[in-house]
Structure 1
């Protein structure tokens, strides 16, 4: 039983699936209850919207009286829940949120923060960033998701995110006096398949049925009220700069349909990086580098003071404080702006690329919406407004806006807003490996989701019973330049001559951005499917590099694809001609057999010598011209033999 790669010798066209204008919702048996918090009649179970953030998280819901989204403020502790998890030394249950934050200074090795940055990533993805965390991230030399060591126990980012989600769920249940089992959770638009799946898994661990993973920019647009009127038509940019991630999306809203035209961003860029630059500035200024090594409390104190300074400088021109021990810390707004200017410039580069991908200019935008706490930094606001040529809209609380939008999306899924449809996009091309190591795209970058697309393939070897299908993500023509997501075998194909089997390979990308791949041999109905759940994700540098390389190397990629396709065609011709001569030698003259063998060898020599495309094509043409006359003759003989003794009516 041989297992060979799927070769796209005879691609048989593309097809696509478009989401219906209105989503059909599953109907549940109605439950009648009284919400003890509001005193109103509650017709169905509440679905909450959750913003699981790098620095802060929060949960919101639609208030049954005013039908407006409200961030839940449980027991007056504020709506914002710091995304911090502390594990007590006595083995008691973890402490999450406001109560956990003080332990960043007093017990930093057992206190986890910024875990969202680790979702779907292995140790290699972190590069030099692993040392910047105040807790122990394990390098186990594997491609699996990173592990965090706390005492003698190990936790994955999914485990830790689940603890934050449990706290949000508990606060919602306490404030609303009703069980909360279903949720919509937001993620950065640039989160890849692995990171989205990890977020969904964290929700499940927290006891939540995650109905939808929604892109944060889409949620933000909903919160700003754009698109809720069926007559409204707008094109907007959503600039989302949070604690750990940045993305920008260009959305077109028309007749209640949200269409994401393009997205761009950086999963390792945010307010945390501004804090880091400020820590490095003070470290160099005070000569603290030698003291920082292994001094986790000092590292954390500097990081928290940097965060405090960033917030202070949004309203003042200078900041000053001192470390434990008396070292004075000072920074002016001008100095701070100079430090973070390269980070802000990187976000503007992403904005420019998003507009290019959407084939729009800044003049085509009706509004620019600001999301994320880091947009409070004046330099960010000024730079964004200058680039887009209009004042950016920051009228909503940037910390709450995503959760409010998630609550509106939850309301849509509950069937209460039937005139709104959200269409997001996938940020990178998805495809499979074909003969010669080529990437055959099936779902293109910035395709609308949910979507389904596929192509038809066939076998390249007689009697082939298995196809190995390798799934890749990226923008380059050669799979070795892209990222492998998964691989599976379609087994049990009936043995047939090469080229006869018809194998449909379909990609189904759901509304959460999770990919399912299925392969079906149509003649036998043999099928195999796999849901892509890679163990690790792409770093921001890899995503940026993949997109940049697709532009920089476009010319050489096309040339490489053409030479590979030409060589593949030549190799297939050699196989077919040799098989034909072997099976039909009795109908050929000795001269024809000799000349054909010589020309086949000539083509093999050209391939072995790594001849250029034109040289291969010339040799292929010569072989085809030589073999066409006797191939036609043999076909006529076969037809004549098949028709003997038969009458044509």
Structure 2
């Protein structure tokens, strides 16, 4: 769908009246208007017009649009604007818009990948929008998908015809079961975990209705509540995604850190409504919330969020890895300091110095480094040096548990 201001692509599967959207994509900052601007820019360059005013730009863009439409039907045309004339050929126009077409190719290939299919598996390509009349566009479509696009429907009428059919289906009770559209989730849905990391439960382009669940645990001893922050987007950190909702699950029995089990479940119905529930598995205490993920979000904003995730993919991965190691450092530092106090009698002085030095190294890197691997190495070093100490703690715990009991009672 290449209209005046945007480019969109959807891959659908039709089986016995059921349309299932397999993937969507596009570029919200690309359209036929860019073709007009390409012609206008060459006109200004040829005639040495450096700073046209608003009225001149408006006049020139209108003439450029007319020239683009004329070149769809013939090989050359001449346009007149600002008291000057300019001859342009179809071949020249195609050279000017070639970089723009290449941009559409990126979105097309990504849509195929997201749908999990190859271009050979497509049965047809339908063109929508007046700009798809440009011969170069049609040839590029054939090149990308390996087949000529279907040309028996007027691209300006496709949307109107589809809207009319959909209106009939919605208002005519006798036809409501003839066609069913199964959409996909445009952006991933997940929640915030320790360290501000976004954990995706339902990935984008998942067909709806759909559901997913994951079990989480507590981070602190005696923690009796869990905050659930629902987010939407493709970035690795919560701060870079869109916040959808927050709620708190209270009534978790006090337990040591990591012992409680809380199942968080995401369900998206056929209308795109998201229901999120959290349930503590030992007591059954639960809390839930309902939200519409796409409310207040335009197609352009969705596309921009996808483009941002691609542009920042590498730095996002590094940031996530660092946050995860920082969370692990907090956990191991808390445990190490607690055990050093509680079981100090099990630690010889020379070994204590080694463990405390390793604790200090982890604590220092936790606050100063941006190298996740360096922090991971320091955590491993602390784990290695404290292993004999941990084994003595475990042996004492087992001994205390078995003290005074017969073998046949164990």
Q: TM-score of the superposition, structure 2-length normalised?
A: 0.79
Q: Secondary structure of the equivalent of 2:258?
A: coil
1:598 to 1:447, Cα distance in 2 relative to 1, 3 A: farther
1:462 to 1:615, Cα distance in 2 relative to 1, 3 A: closer
1:466 to 1:384, Cα distance in 2 relative to 1, 3 A: same
Q: Secondary structure of the equivalent of 1:282?
A: helix
Q: Secondary structure of the equivalent of 2:23?
A: strand
Instruction: State the match for 1:430 in structure 2.
Output: 189
Q: Secondary structure of the equivalent of 2:125?
A: strand
1:530 to 1:252, Cα distance in 2 relative to 1, 3 A: closer
Confirm or deny that 1:450 pairs with 2:205. Answer: no
Q: Deviations over 1:56-91 (max 9, x none)?
A: xxxxxxxxxxxxxxxxxxxxxxxxxxxxxxxxxxxx
Instruction: State the match for 1:272 in structure 2.
Output: 33
Per-residue deviation, 1:376: 0.9
2:3·2:131 contact (CA, 8 Å) conserved in 1? yes
Instruction: State the match for 1:89 in structure 2.
Output: none
Instruction: State the match for 2:220 in structure 1.
Output: 461
Q: Secondary structure of the equivalent of 2:183?
A: strand
1:287 to 1:514, Cα distance in 2 relative to 1, 3 A: farther
Instruction: State the match for 1:243 in structure 2.
Output: 4
Higher relative contact order, structure no. (Cα contacts within 8 Å, ≥ 6 residues apart): 1
Per-residue deviation, 1:467: 3.9
Instruction: State the match for 1:544 in structure 2.
Output: 307
1:570·1:603 contact (CA, 8 Å) conserved in 2? no
Unaligned runs of 5+ in 1: 1-239
RMSD (Å), alpha carbons? 3.7
Confirm or deny that 1:355 pairs with 2:112. Answer: yes
Instruction: State the match for 1:375 in structure 2.
Output: 132
1:322·1:328 contact (CA, 8 Å) conserved in 2? yes
Per-residue deviation, 1:502: 3.6
Between the aligned partners of 2:330 and 2:354, the Cα distance in structure 1 is: 13
Instruction: Select the residue among 53, 62, 69 that pairs with 1:304.
Output: 62
Per-residue deviation, 1:541: 5.5
Confirm or deny that 1:631 pairs with 2:388. Answer: no
Between the aligned partners of 1:512 and 1:283, the Cα distance in structure 2 is: 50
Between the aligned partners of 2:402 and 2:289, the Cα distance in structure 1 is: 41
Per-residue deviation, 1:544: 2.7
Per-residue deviation, 1:520: 4.6
Confirm or deny that 1:601 pairs with 2:364. Answer: no
Confirm or deny that 1:408 pairs with 2:165. Answer: yes
Between the aligned partners of 2:309 and 2:152, the Cα distance in structure 1 is: 35
Per-residue deviation, 1:384: 0.9
Q: Deviations over 1:264-301 (max 9, x none)?
A: 31112111222222333333334444341xx3x44333
Instruction: State the match for 1:365 in structure 2.
Output: 122
Between the aligned partners of 2:376 and 2:78, the Cα distance in structure 1 is: 67
1:564 to 1:506, Cα distance in 2 relative to 1, 3 A: same
Q: Deviations over 1:466-517 (max 9, x none)?
A: 544444444454456x433345241644562333444333334454656554
Instruction: State the match for 2:328 in structure 1.
Output: 569
Per-residue deviation, 1:396: 0.9
Between the aligned partners of 1:399 and 1:477, the Cα distance in structure 2 is: 40
Q: Deviations over 1:169-196 (max 9, x none)?
A: xxxxxxxxxxxxxxxxxxxxxxxxxxxx
Between the aligned partners of 1:595 and 1:404, the Cα distance in structure 2 is: 82
Q: Secondary structure of the equivalent of 1:319?
A: strand
Q: TM-score of the superposition, structure 1-length normalised?
A: 0.53
Between the aligned partners of 2:278 and 2:296, the Cα distance in structure 1 is: 19
Q: Secondary structure of the equivalent of 1:264?
A: strand
Q: Secondary structure of the equivalent of 2:72?
A: coil
Instruction: State the match for 1:525 in structure 2.
Output: 285
Q: Deviations over 1:314-361 (max 9, x none)?
A: 1122333434x6443543322222222111121122222323333433
1:371·1:394 contact (CA, 8 Å) conserved in 2? no
2:125·2:149 contact (CA, 8 Å) conserved in 1? yes
Aligned residue runs from structure 1 range 249-398, under 5 A:
249-292=10-53, 295=54, 297-323=55-81, 326-328=83-85, 330-398=87-155
Q: Secondary structure of the equivalent of 1:311?
A: helix
Per-residue deviation, 1:598: 4.8
Aligned residue runs from structure 1 range 71-90, under 5 A:
none
Per-residue deviation, 1:639: 7.5
1:396 to 1:509, Cα distance in 2 relative to 1, 3 A: same
Between the aligned partners of 2:161 and 2:42, the Cα distance in structure 1 is: 36
Between the aligned partners of 1:242 and 1:278, the Cα distance in structure 2 is: 17
Q: Secondary structure of the equivalent of 2:386?
A: helix
1:589 to 1:443, Cα distance in 2 relative to 1, 3 A: closer
Q: Secondary structure of the equivalent of 1:290?
A: coil
